[in-house]
């Protein structure tokens, strides 16, 4: 008896979607993104081991190739490697999110010149729909690589294939095999070499396959990517999930993960951060929650969303065994809203649960039950006057024009960085987003 794969498993295809399936997909990924951005404006960092640290200068989140050769792992605590930094010639930089975000936007805008269909997947990578002969596609990949280096200053690798999963593999190969010079089209590589690559890769290296799933696959004799590509998709669906079945089909060359114009369908937004200096009073935490309420309003307004539920929380450090406190509160909002006044007031419902004198190491808010703005108009009796005045979008527009410290609401109306704000003692200048930190060029 022969089983057939239900059409619904991969989703119905509209005519435009079918047309897109005829093209190939390019994955463009910036190499060591944070480290590469740091080198754009500081060429003295070229060739030197460099790490970019996480929030509060905690651990290494990006390592240059030179730092990787020193054996520094991702997530390595900075306090452990700092004593040997001078011996190694290791340079550390604090995370410079403003600069990274701006350079990312420039890369994505540049990629948009090469395809009308660009899906920004993360801060340093994007999928593009591309068409052409094998030679034309390889040349297109080389052109994008050259343009990114020349116009933005960052190195990229390009993987091109018929599916997103294979494009990810092609990109990985382009990045780690110098013979491709940063650009690999999957179908242009001989079949025996492709199989050798997949045979040498554990399934954990695959996009979307986690460690726990890898153990389950090992138990049924599927150890490598090649093993998974040869598996029966229906059997994989029955033993695991439709999601993994789609991965198998993608490895076999059948597109099952369509290109998206915009990643939508957010279920929640979270604003949380550890403090550089612990907070010990409700007054200080009120300021934190006010800042997060304002940030949540701006993000919701940007994506034309409103929230119906807000959760606020705080917590002491896991290493603080003497005073432990993990208060949280869930606040149903009277109506779907993105208004900063309502969100801030809801977040302040956490304050009565705060114990004075206890050292809180982190706090945050989460907004859930998100829905499109204007999707459900409230009765006149329940209308929010602040929403009609568009306070949230107005504040976001001012902040975008004049900087994040230019305006604030209530306790969030602060100009300088408060004591609890993120520690970034080794941050490079925000060269492209702050007038007083613009780079200076001097002619000899």
Q: Which residues pair with 185 in a beta bridge?
A: 160
The upper half-sphere exposure of residue 104, i.e. CA atoms within 13 Å in the direction of its Cβ, equals 18
* Residue 47 neighbours by CB under 8 Å, 6+ apart: 66
* Residue 199 neighbours by CB under 8 Å, 6+ apart: 224, 225, 226
Is 46 catalytic? The answer is no
Q: Choose, from 125, 250, 387, 396, the residue flagged as catalytic.
A: 125
CA 251 to CA 167: how far, in whole Å?
A: 10
> What residue has token string 């110098």?
178
* Residue 280 neighbours by CB under 8 Å, 6+ apart: 356, 357, 358, 359, 360
Residue (of 293, 287, 294) closest to 310 by Cα position:
293
* Residue 193 neighbours by CB under 8 Å, 6+ apart: none
The upper half-sphere exposure of residue 121, i.e. CA atoms within 13 Å in the direction of its Cβ, equals 18
CA 7 to CA 382: how far, in whole Å?
A: 45
CA 92 to CA 53: how far, in whole Å?
A: 7
Judged by DSSP in three states, 296 sits in: helix
Pairing assessment for the beta strands 91-93 and 50-53 based on DSSP bridges: parallel
Look up residue 178 and give its two tokens.
């110098």
CA-to-CA dists, residue 385 to 18, 308, 335, 380, angstroms: 46, 17, 12, 10
Q: Which residues are catalytic?
A: 125
């Amino acid at each position: 008896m022969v089983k057939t794969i239900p059409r619904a498993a991969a989703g119905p295809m509209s005519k435009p979607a079918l047309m897109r399936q005829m093209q190939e997909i390019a994955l463009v990924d910036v190499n060591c993104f944070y480290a590469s951005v740091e080198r754009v404006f500081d060429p003295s960092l070229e060739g030197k081991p460099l790490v970019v640290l996480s929030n509060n200068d905690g651990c290494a989140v990006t390592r240059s190739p030179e730092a990787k050769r020193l054996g520094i792992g991702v997530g390595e605590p900075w306090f452990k490697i700092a004593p040997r930094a001078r011996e190694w010639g290791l340079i550390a930089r604090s995370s410079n999110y403003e600069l990274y975000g701006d350079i990312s936007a420039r890369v994505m805008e540049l990629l948009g010149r090469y395809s009308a269909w660009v899906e920004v997947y993360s801060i340093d990578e994007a999928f593009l729909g591309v068409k052409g002969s094998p030679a034309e596609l390889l040349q297109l990949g080389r052109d994008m690589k050259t343009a990114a280096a020349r116009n933005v200053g960052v190195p990229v690798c390009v993987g091109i294939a018929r599916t997103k999963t294979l494009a990810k593999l092609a990109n990985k190969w382009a990045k780690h095999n110098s013979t491709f010079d940063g650009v690999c089209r999957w179908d242009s590589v001989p079949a025996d070499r492709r199989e050798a690559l997949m045979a040498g890769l554990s399934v954990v290296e695959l996009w979307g396959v986690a460690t726990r799933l890898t153990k389950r696959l090992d138990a049924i004799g599927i150890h490598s990517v090649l093993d998974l590509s040869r598996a029966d998709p229906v059997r994989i669906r029955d033993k695991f999930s439709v999601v993994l079945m789609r991965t198998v089909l993608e490895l076999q060359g059948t597109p099952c993960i369509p290109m998206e114009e915009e990643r939508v369908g957010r279920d929640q937004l979270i604003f949380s951060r550890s403090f550089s200096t612990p907070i010990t009073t409700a007054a200080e935490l009120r300021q934190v929650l006010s800042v997060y309420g304002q940030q949540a309003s701006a993000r919701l307004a940007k994506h034309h969303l409103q929230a119906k539920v807000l959760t606020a929380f705080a917590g002491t450090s896991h290493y603080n065994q003497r005073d432990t406190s993990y208060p949280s509160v869930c606040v149903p909002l009277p109506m779907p809203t993105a208004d900063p006044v309502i969100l801030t007031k809801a977040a302040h419902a956490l304050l009565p649960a705060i114990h004075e004198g206890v050292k809180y190491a982190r706090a945050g808010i989460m907004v859930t039950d998100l829905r499109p703005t204007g999707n459900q108009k409230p009765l006149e009796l329940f209308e929010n006057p602040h929403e009609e005045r568009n306070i949230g979008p107005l504040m976001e527009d001012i902040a975008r024009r004049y900087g994040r410290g230019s305006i604030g609401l209530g306790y969030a109306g602060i100009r300088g960085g408060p004591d609890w704000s993120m520690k970034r003692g080794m941050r490079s200048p925000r060269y492209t987003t702050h007038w007083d930190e613009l780079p200076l060029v001097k002619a000899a």
